Amino acid sequence: MKLVYNERIKLLATALNNMAVATVVTAVVGPTVGILNGTPGAAITAWWVLSGVLWFLAGIGLHLLGQGVLGRLKR
């Protein structure tokens, strides 16, 4: 049963890390590329920067949560 438990923990950690990557790409990388390509209506504002920083921190938090979950692996 220990092997099944460990695999489930690894699956959960992977899911959290994937959500972290998706969060950063969707909320930070995507809009940045849009602005750099001159997308109509895209502008760098203080709100955009604050939002990007907050979403980036959320992505880091999800990644760290995934690492913390890995600490529950059994030997």
- Whether 22 shows a pLDDT value over 90: the answer reads yes
- Whether 42 shows a pLDDT value over 80: the answer reads no
In this structure, are residues 33 and 61 in contact, taking their beta carbons and an 8 Å threshold?
no
* pTM score of the predicted model: 0.84
Tokens standing for residue 53: 């920083």
**How distant, in Å, are the alpha carbons of 4, 21, 24 from that of 13?**
14, 12, 17
User: Can you tell me whether residue 31 is helix, strand or coil?
Assistant: helix
- Whether 30 shows a pLDDT value over 90: the answer reads no
